[in-house]
Amino acid sequence: MNLKVSGIALLMASLAACGGSEEPAAPTAEAPPAAESEGANVEKIATEAAEADPTGITPSDYSNEANWLCLPGKEGDHCETADLTTTVVDVQDGEVVVSEEFYEAAADPAIDCFYVYPTSSVDQTGNSDMIADEAGEIVTVVGQFARFGSVCKTYAPMYRSVTLKALRARMAGQQVDADPAIAQADVVAAWNYYLENYNDGRGVVLVGHSQGSSVLQGVLATEIIGKPSQDLIVSAMPTGITYPADENGGFMGMPACENASDTGCIIAYSSFREDVPPSKDSFFGVNSSRGDAMCVNPAEVSGDDGMLIPYLANEPDRAGNVTEFAKGVEIDTPFVKLPGLISAECVSNDTHNWLAYTTMADPTDDRTDTYGGDIFNADGSINTGWGLHLLDMHAPMGNLLKIVEAQSAAWEAKSE
């Protein structure tokens, strides 16, 4: 299946506690500044998702294979059928070198990966239905998770998430009939069904972004940490939302990953440009009374000395123009890999702790010196409340895969 990763679809795939099938509405004269008005509502949605009580809610039925986006052996598994072909645009000795990278799923992976997607439903209700839309949940799982099939078996349940429409309404200060507890109940049920029917004692990596990471926070707190299933956790990778660090720098006693072969650890962060740091009102990577926000740099854990290995969507720019990744180079694959273009470093101040991306531009070669991923206000300025939320998963994708590969080997060695 050749899925077009459009700008709108990618935005929806990545705005997790944010949302809309278009960029968030810009501030007006009657409305407070975007970072303030959106921030309060986004943070509220994230907190509600993490702390939602699913008691009394009838969850979706995960014995029904239709309720899984990715499930080994399922006909039409969206991870298995995704077109992940990637054009590599590199520079060697000052010359642009273009090659094609073909995706190959692992034949017999030693571990599993369990993914909870961000706010991406285009449904017109407060909570989504359980029918996957190509412009919503499907394009999201393809862009953010399908590539993990190169290092693990991939499991991605559908769930009745808070929709983009509901998020837009909340951001506009409107009342909306959306219940994060429904989303929480579904993911708890999917996790427990996975454990009982598919896991069979295998190690598992938890992967999430934004709303999905918030839901995973609740699952970790109520279903995993301190319980027998914690022994199965190879790592947790909840990106693009605030995870408060405990006094040892981890989450609820789960330590931060330091090396690629560490297991039982967590990688959490929120992304911003180095030259556009979070404003005091930014709502990702927020330090609070619950603890400073976690920032674990995948490009350090993977052993890449801070250099990211990005897999970016080949999509038009904001004006609808074809993105030129290198002068005179036409690209027709869904994804583009740009080695050596972006580095990352954890940065902190009194209010925030975040992963800062620096562009390693070289104006003397023909490769692009820029990349997208920002949310913009109506006047064309970058909305500093969102940072590079759109690239939380895409920019460090190659690093995350290297980490999971090393963790899988460590897990397998430990289990022998």
Question: What band does 50 get if pLDDT is binned at 50, 70 and 90?
Answer: low
Angle at 150 (CA atoms; ends 109, 99), nearest 5 degrees:
150
Residue 41 scores a pLDDT above 60 = no
Whether the CB-CB separation of 292 and 390 falls below 8 Å is answered with no
Alpha-carbon distance 79 to 117, whole Å?
13
pLDDT for the residue 203 = 98
For residues 163 and 160, what is the distance between their CA atoms, to the nearest angstrom? 8
Cα 207 from Cα 236, distance rounded (Å)? 6
Residue 46 pLDDT grade (very low, low, confident, very high; cuts 50, 70, 90): low
Please state the pTM of the whole predicted model. 0.89
Band of residue 22 on the pLDDT scale cut at 50, 70, 90: very low
> What are the E-state strand segments in 164-286?
204-209, 233-239, 265-266, 271-273
Amino acid occupying residue 150: S
* CA distances, 238 to each of 5, 235, 294 (Å): 22, 10, 10
Each residue's pLDDT tens digit, 173-194 = 888 889 999 999 999 999 999 9
- Position 10 confidence tier, pLDDT thresholds 50, 70, 90: very low
* Band of pLDDT at residue 47, cut at 50, 70 and 90: low
Enter the DSSP assignment of 196: I
Give the chain's length: 416
Q: Which residue has the higher pLDDT, 377 or 46?
A: 377
CA–CA separation, 326 and 151 (whole Å): 30
Residue 48: predicted pLDDT:
60
Identify the top-confidence range among 38-52, 59-73, 309-323. 59-73
Closest CA to 34 of 154, 153, 171: 171
User: Residue 111: what residue type?
Assistant: I
> So what's the pLDDT on residue 35?
33
Contact by Cβ (8 Å): 392, 145: no
> Cα-Cα-Cα-Cα dihedral of 307, 259, 401, 133, to 10°?
-100
Question: pLDDT per residue over 224-266, tens digit each?
Answer: 999 999 999 999 999 999 999 999 999 999 999 999 999 999 9
Segment holding 96, helix H or strand E: strand 95-101
8 pLDDT exceeds 50? no
Looking at residue 19, its pLDDT comes to: 31
